[in-house]
Structure 1
Amino acid sequence: MAPTDETARSQQQAPPSGTTSPTGPPAGPGPGVAPSARMPRWLPRAMVLALSLVAVFQLGSWAFHQLIGLLVNILIAFFLALAIEPAVSWMASKGLRRGFATFLVFLITLIGAAGFVTLLGSMLAGQIIKMVEDFPAYLDSVISWINTTFHTELKRVDIQEGLLRSDWLQKYVQNSATGVLDVSAQVLGGLFQLLTIALFSFYFAADGPRLRRALCSVLPPAKQAEVLRAWEIAVDKTGGYLYSRGLMALISGAAHYVLLEYLDVPYAPALAVWVGLVSQFIPTIGTYLAGALPMLIAFTVNPWYALWVLVFVVLYQQFENYVLQPKLTAKTVDIHPAVAFGSVVAGTALLGAIGALIAIPAIATLQAFLGAYVKRYDVTDDPRVHGHRRRGSRNPVARLRRRLEEKADRQQPTSRPMDDARDDDGPKRGAGAESGAGPEGGTP
């Protein structure tokens, strides 16, 4: 009974649950408070960190969408600077200051672009004035053809009055008047964008060595070599791409000039320059866009001339794609036509027309840079590598018959006929009888 008394005495001396001990903290949780209901110490800190990351992401996304136009302009300026880098470096090697050499390159480019735009504008203005003056004669010829073919009695005066009194013409004039401000704003925005691109490209080209030095100063020596190599590859590929395009534009313009001059189409030199530049520097649709204007002007001279121009544009495009372009771009760009087409489509989807223009040099630069890290092996001398099939694989019936014969040979029994067995075993039994050996190998 002694242990029982000691247990009862210890229970009476123990403080009740939830009360404060005079020598320490509470003995346990009070009534109604579960041990698992306490908040972990790391939870508030994790919640603050998560909310901070979400806020930073939202702020970065907003800033990126606000600055996407500026970033695209900087990307275009960077590729333009890479394109004129060889010319600027060549002038700098002749003793000119790099900034002045960049200014000369920009001045020559600006004069060429301004002359082209002026010549093309004057050509278009002259053609538009001529088409407006000859429009009544064209309309009379069309009306006479309709009256002769369908036995109608249309008159030009009635058609003009109907057009002037139509509701859609009045609405079109009103919308055009209200859209003048929008067009003016777009023109001013385009001029500001061109100024921004020209300014950044000038600084990138003039301060190219300083920019490379500043970029390499924050990298270890091994990374510096890789950055400089990538920069050099980008300069070679971008400059080579633009120079090869310029050479193809010159050849295309000369070929179309000969055709247009032979057909006696007006403004043949300006049209030839238009076809050469637009067909080469606007990917995918540039050829058809370039050929539309000469066809339209040739149609005003003779409708059959427009058909001849169309045929020549299609034939020359095939010659350029399969003969001229592979020879000129083999050393400058050197990418597969399917890869080039896919890069143009991807660039158009990402950045529009600008992405289509810079997609090919960007992919060529990336391919040349990553080529040093790709390990290549010798290809086995297998006919299938060259697209040739193995012998006997062209006739599926013979191949199936051969497989059936092999299967039938494998399924035949392995035991031989009895005559062959007697012939093989006979000498052995005869030798045993002559020696007098019994079935156990002993004497009888």
Structure 2
Amino acid sequence: MVLALALIAAFQLGSWAFHQLTSLLINILIAFFLALAIEPAVSRMAARGMRRGLATFLVFLGLTVLAAGFVTLLGSMLAGQIIKMIEGFPDYLDSLINWINQTFHTELRRVDIQEGLLHSDWLRRYAQTSAAGVLDVSAQVLGGLFQLLTVALFSFYFAADGPRLRRALCSVLPPARQAEVLRAWEIAVDKTGGYLYSRGLMALISGIAHYVLLESLGVPYAPVLGVWVGLVSQFIPTIGTYLAGALPMLIAFTVNPWYAVWVLIFVVIYQQFENYMLQPKLTAKTVDIHPAVAFGSVVAGTALLGAVGALIAIPAVATLQAFLGAYVKRYDVTDDPRVHGHRGRNPVGPGTLTRVRRLWARRPGGRQRP
């Protein structure tokens, strides 16, 4: 009885601890895959005589500079467009009021609309809600920065101390198992790097295609928007495509509303081209995973870990598939027509068409055929 109660208490304590540490475990998982992604670059620099810690620092510094530059350009672009939209809002409002007055024969004025908004209860409630929401947004931003710092620190340690980590892991395993673990680690590095390479290549192609469209339409900040579409659509799972296309549509709308429609049509068409033609070819060469398996792994990863699971699902499944393929014994497939999707011939009895002809010939008044 005492042992049973102790086991139940230990199970409850373990469940509570796992629930409390879920966020930390997810951050460690992200950091591990990030370390696998930069492992080839760090190892290449370390092989040339550079200390592994310094090589890892330089790789992270380069990534940080690129990310900071992109965010700065994007922020300046958004700030300029927001200021432009605010300055042009009275003209948009006048155009809308004139259209309403001409269409519905009303006598609306901008002054009446402004006074109605300023004295409305909705605006007062919205201001109060926004003031209270500023604190929530600030807390979420601080929490996101803390998680980002946690992921960066763990990924730095994983990448800088990768050989030491492998030695520590292999030291508790027999020699036969050590070879399997090192093989699995090598496969994970190869597949994660291949996945990021394919995503980066698709981001480059997508960015160039959208840049050409936006530049031909005369949309401002076309290079920055092209980079935005390429990165967001490829590295933010599930909603990345829609989030990436929304910003160019908004900027194009400020130039000409019809340009936003053209951007929407192009985004939809290019997404189909990418899903059914470009992505299968690149994925087959770098990750070597079937598109249906990739889609199923993303759905499963999203159900388990949300957006993080969708992001790491494909390299994880590709690693598992390659590892199993290295140890699962395969056999030669028999040369049977049914393997290629053809119906085999039935050696027993006539075919269906022959039996129908014989029955038709045996009907009353029919002529018997040999």
The answer for the alignment partner of 1:58 in structure 2 is 12
Cross-structure match for 1:232? 186
Deviation at 1:54, TM superposition (A): 0.3
Q: Give deviations 1:129-152, integer Å, cap 9, x for gaps.
A: 111111111111111111111222
User: Which residue of structure 1 aligns with residue 285 of structure 2?
Assistant: 331
Q: Among residues 111, 114, 117, which one is paired with 1:163 in the alignment?
A: 117
Match for 2:356 among 401, 409, 416? 401
Which residue of structure 2 aligns with residue 250 of structure 1?
A: 204
Displacement of 1:220 in angstroms is 0.7
Q: 2:84 aligns with which of 125, 130, 134?
A: 130
- The answer as to whether partners of 2:31 and 2:151 remain within 8 angstroms in 1 is yes
Q: Distance in 1 between matches of 2:341 and 2:358?
A: 25
Matched, 1:373 2:307: no
2: distance between equivalents of 1:387 and 1:164? 71
Distance 1:184 1:287 in 2: 27
For 1:105-144, what aligned pairs fall within 5 Å after superposition? 105-144=59-98
Give the direction of change, closer, same or farther, for the CA distance of 1:284–1:384 in structure 2 (3 Å limit). farther
Q: Structure 1 length as normaliser, TM-score?
A: 0.77
Letter in 2 for 1:387: G
User: What SS does the corresponding residue of 1:329 show, helix, strand or coil?
Assistant: helix
Within the candidate set 28, 43, 50, 1:74 is matched to 28
Is 1:193 aligned to residue 147 of structure 2? yes
Q: Work out the CA distance in 2 between the residues paired with 1:362 and 1:350.
A: 13
1:25-424 equivalence runs, <5 A: 47-389=1-343, 398=353, 401=356
Match of 1:185, as an amino acid? A
C-alpha distance in 2, partners of 1:350/1:280? 20
In structure 1, what residue type is equivalent to 2:60?
A: F
CA distance in 1: counterparts of 2:45 and 2:60, whole angstroms: 13
* TM-score normalised by the chain length of structure 2: 0.92
- Equivalent-residue separation in structure 1 for 2:188 and 2:331 (angstroms): 26
User: How many Å separate the matches in 2 of 1:113 and 1:177?
Assistant: 30
Task: Provide closer, same or farther for how the CA distance between residues 139 and 329 of structure 1 changes in structure 2, counting only shifts above 3 A.
Answer: same
CA distance in 2, matches of 1:107, 1:402: 80
Long gaps (5+) in structure 1: 1-46, 409-444
The answer on whether the counterparts of 2:284 and 2:290 sit within 8 Å (CA) in structure 1 is: no
Q: Deviation string for 1:244-297 (max 9, x for gaps)?
A: 211211111111111111111001111001000011112233222211111111
The separation in 2 between residues aligned to 1:383 and 1:148, in whole angstroms, is: 72
Change (3 A) 1:374 1:402: farther
Alignment match, 1:411: none
Separation in 1, partners of 2:9, 2:355: 68
Q: 1:268 to 1:402 in 2, by over 3 A?
A: same
Largest Rg, 1 or 2: 1
What SS class does the counterpart of residue 285 from structure 2 fall into? coil
CA distance in structure 2 between the aligned counterparts of 1:403 and 1:162, rounded to whole angstroms: 88
Q: Give the Cα–Cα distance (whole angstroms) in 1 for the partners of residues 358 and 166 of structure 2.
A: 67
Residues in 1 aligned to 2:191 and 2:71: alpha-carbon distance in whole angstroms: 28
Deviation at 1:128, TM superposition (A): 0.6
Q: 1:339-381 deviations in whole A, cap 9, x for unaligned?
A: 1111111111111111111111111111111112323222233
Percent of aligned pairs with the same amino acid: 85
Instruction: Go from structure 1 to structure 2 and tell me whether the alpha carbon gap of 1:374 and 1:140 turns closer, same or farther (over 3 Å shift).
Output: same
* Bigger share in helix: 2
CA distance in 1, matches of 2:42, 2:310: 26
Q: Flag the structure with more relative contact order, 1 or 2, with Cα contacts below 8 A and sequence separation at least 6.
A: 2
Corresponding position of 2:367: none
Equivalent residues, number: 359
- The CA distance in 2 between the partners of 1:232 and 1:370, in whole Å, is 14
For residues 164 and 378 of structure 1, the distance between their equivalents in structure 2, rounded to whole angstroms, comes to: 78
> Could you say what secondary structure the match of 2:10 adopts?
helix
- 1:390 shift after superposition: 5.1
Distance in 2, Cα, partners of 1:66 & 1:382: 55
Please state how far the C-alpha of 1:240 moved relative to its aligned partner. 1.1
Deviations 1:371-427 (A, max 9, x none): 1232322223333333334579xxx9736626969x99xxxxxxxxxxxxxxxxxxx
359-368 or 374-383: bigger deviation:
374-383
The alignment's C-alpha RMSD in Å is 2.1
Per-residue Cα deviation, 1:77-113 (whole angstroms, up to 9, x for no partner): 0000000000000101111100000000000000000
- Please give the alpha-carbon distance, in whole angstroms, between the structure 2 residues aligned to 1:53 and 1:292: 53
